[in-house]
Structure 1
């Protein structure tokens, strides 16, 4: 799309109504599937590119738009791993229902501008703090998600990418790491409330619109 395009995210329950409104405003669009993105092109030039969550698009009867709605509304078992300097959160979801969770706090100091020996000592302390936090997160993933790995459709990460990958570094967690989705979502310091509300983010539908849409 052109540089004037913009991106929005909507709740999955609103997708059908959004598609209907798009057709009312711009005329019935053509629909094509490209690399797990549903492209809509309306008669008036309006275009929308809808990213298929949890690809590939499910096989079902009906138009591409109806298939996408059915796919989006399907409840899946999803693992969640949130890691930031202030703590971690690990959750097991069925659709938007949080079935189980583990959270923990930690403290990882920020970077310092000091130089020389002080900087080296500070860096070592910071590395130790981060390592301890990641180990706690790894233990939570092992306890909560690993036993359910055969039922997981995907694993979604949030927060600090390096922290999420570090939490999944142990070899025993490779089956979980292989399910990790490429997109990392922003979150505040993980707490139970943040974890409970995270479903709205990872179940949301991302849409890119051109300047006429």
Structure 2
């Protein structure tokens, strides 16, 4: 079964990184626009390593030419305008906008949402209602800040991270209707949203998304990064 690792490459490093990947793993077969435009480029090496390279947003990844794809991907990344950012988990929220990897506005905050309880009966129902009310208040707070700034910033794309159910609830807010129609990318979060996570997401999304795969656990993934 293939293993995977995702990294984000600064556009200016793309050509050098691809050359090093080929040197380490063997002259690759290069496939572009497979299975469709927006899919990016796949480099498949003789030792079983492969990497798919595209923008973080499939919808913004252009059709590529086999002899010019690094320059075309780098140019496409540089042409992306304002990005809307919404990170939301039970422990807090972080919303903002970025341009070329730099935050241009942001707001982060924390709010307590009770953990699930093992209690049964009436107590469990009471805890569940309290938890739901706390989660709703967190979503509402994040939605207020997002609605107060993101639509006016006219983002060309959207990045979300964290709890998908809470994010769906937030994006269902009528004031944010335009955001749901934007090209979107979702990232997993390993920690509650904070300003530093938002800044890191902004930097990553300014780069090229590289999804590396290899077939056996005997390979060391660090040699691919």
**Normalised TM-score (structure 2):** 0.80
* Paired position in structure 1 for 2:71: 66
Gap change, CA 1:100 and 1:187, over 3 Å in 2: farther
Which consecutive unaligned segments of at least 5 residues does structure 1 have? none
- Following TM superposition, by how much is the alpha carbon of 1:74 offset from its aligned partner in structure 2, in angstroms? 3.9
Cα gap change, 1:70 to 1:23, in 2 (>3 Å): farther
Give the secondary structure class of the aligned counterpart of 1:145: helix
Map 1:31-42 → 2, pairs under 5 A: 31-34=31-34, 35=36, 36-42=39-45
Q: What are the Cα deviations for residues 36-65 of structure 1, in whole angstroms up to 9, with x where unaligned?
A: 131223567653322432233236886223
SS in 1 for 2:33: strand
Structure 1 residues 69 and 20: CA distance shift in structure 2, 3 A: farther
1:161 match = 164
Of stretches 60-69 and 115-124 in structure 1, the one that deviates more from structure 2 is 60-69
Contact 1:53–1:72, Cα closer than 8 Å, also in 2: no
1:107 is displaced (CA, Å) by 0.9
The unaligned stretches of length 5 or more in structure 2 are: none
- CA gap 1:123/1:207 in 2 versus in 1, 3 angstroms: same
Are positions 1:209 and 2:185 aligned together? Answer: no
Residue 12 of structure 1 deviates from its aligned partner by: 2.2
Pairing 1:19–2:5 present? no
1:117 maps to what in 2?
122
CA RMSD of aligned residues (A): 2.5
Q: Say whether 1:10 aligns with 2:8.
A: yes
Answer whether contact 1:185 1:201 (CA < 8 A) is retained: no
Q: Partner residue of 2:98? A: 93
Question: TM-score, normalising length from structure 1?
Answer: 0.84
